[in-house]
Structure 1
Amino acid sequence: MRDMTVGFATGTDTQEEVRTAEKTDLDQPWVVVVWNDPVNLMSYVSFVFQTYFGYSEAKARTLMLEVHEQGRSAVVSGSREKVEQDTVALHSYGLWATFEKAGSE
């Protein structure tokens, strides 16, 4: 949703503009969370991060280790539509992934 400008008249008939900065869920940053699972090898998870997201080997390994050691990792952020697509793509690779609002961990 865009910022909206609303005009109204006061008792002295002057116009004041009020800018609202309402943000919908679509405007909020979202993240894709990859969860640790007992099925996929760590090398495979790293491979998926490199292949799908184009991450360097070092970044992919760092994220994979976070998934392995902490049980989850926020691997990418973006609009809700983008992270939904990324989540579905990761499912097609066999990874356990969800998406959530950024900072809701």
Structure 2
Amino acid sequence: MTGTLTEEDLRRDTAAVADRPWQTVVWNDPVNLMSYVVHVFRTYFGYRPAEATRLMLAVHHDGHAIVAEGPREQMELHTAAMHDYGLWATVRKAPE
């Protein structure tokens, strides 16, 4: 082995990075009630009450929660929807 990367190695490495999912992150804010955040998570994402509450508590106590993972385009749609509901949300690449 010479230690140089082949074209196939570069394609495989590039594909691995591209396949990493993206995340929709909802951030804590001083405006929305906790009950409203649970309502949004249940209404939009279809989470059961316990999961919606768990995510809301993560937002409240940790300052943010990952509410969805998947392709970038879908996460951008989720983020826009959260904005429409009045929540602060961003899209980010999932960590390796």
TM-score (norm 1): 0.77
Output the CA distance in 2 between the equivalents of 1:43 and 1:100: 26
Query: Which residue is 2:59 aligned to?
Result: 67
TM-score (norm 2): 0.83
The gaps in structure 2 that reach 5 residues or longer are 1-6
Q: Give the match's secondary structure for 1:23.
A: helix
1:78 corresponds to which letter in structure 2?
A: G
More displaced, 21-30 or 89-98? Answer: 21-30
Q: Give the match's secondary structure for 2:67.
A: strand
CA contact (8 A) 1:25 1:80 kept: no
Give 4+ residue runs of structure 1 displaced > 2 Å after superposition. 22-28
Output the CA distance in 1 between the equivalents of 2:39 and 2:45: 10
Relative to its length, the structure with more strand (as a share) is: 1
1:86 aligns to 2:82 (yes or no): no
Output the CA distance in 1 between the equivalents of 2:61 and 2:37: 13
Q: CA RMSD in A?
A: 1.9
Output the CA distance in 1 between the equivalents of 2:46 and 2:18: 25
CA contact (8 A) 1:35 1:67 kept: yes
Higher normalized contact order (CA 8 Å, seq sep 6+, divided by chain length): 2
Identity of aligned residues (%): 53
How does 1:1-105 map onto structure 2 within 5 Å? 18=8, 20-21=11-12, 22-23=14-15, 26-103=18-95
Q: How many residues align?
A: 88
CA contact (8 A) 1:32 1:74 kept: yes
The gaps in structure 1 that reach 5 residues or longer are 1-5, 7-17
2:20 corresponds to which letter in structure 1?
A: Q
Output the CA distance in 2 between the equivalents of 1:80 and 1:70: 24
Q: Give the match's secondary structure for 2:19.
A: coil
